[in-house]
Amino acid sequence: MTDDLDRQRVEELIGAEAAGGGSLRSRQRLGLLVAVGLAVLTLVEYVIAVTVDDPLIWLLPFVIAKGALIMEYFMHFSSLFGGGEH
């Protein structure tokens, strides 16, 4: 059962590539940009957490932004609602 699902997933990915779903290079660049964005947000969070006495309110926007990036680009959240290509 899982082998069939894995095979179907691979076929979908190959089909998306052939249908112009984005080149491998462009997807790798997007992944790298997201990873760099997460690293920058983490650095900002660290600086805020170390320098501010009560950092909860200051950290909240960065935590939400990181969560949104992770959910969209690594978990493909928008595809749950039919809006994604995965």
pLDDT in tens, 19-35: 445 788 888 898 899 99
- Alpha-carbon distance of 17 to 15, in angstroms, equals 5
pLDDT value for 20: 46
- For residues 81 and 7, what is the distance between their CA atoms, to the nearest angstrom? 23
Residue with the larger pLDDT of the pair 9 and 62? 62
pLDDT at 70 over 70: yes
Q: Considering the entire predicted model, what is its pTM?
A: 0.64
Burial class (CB in 10 A: 0-12, 13-18, 19+), 61: exposed
Instruction: Give the residue extent of every domain in the chain.
Output: 2-81
Mean pLDDT check: name the lowest of 30-44, 49-63, 66-80: 66-80
Are 66 and 46 spatial neighbours (Cβ–Cβ below 8 Å)?
Answer: no
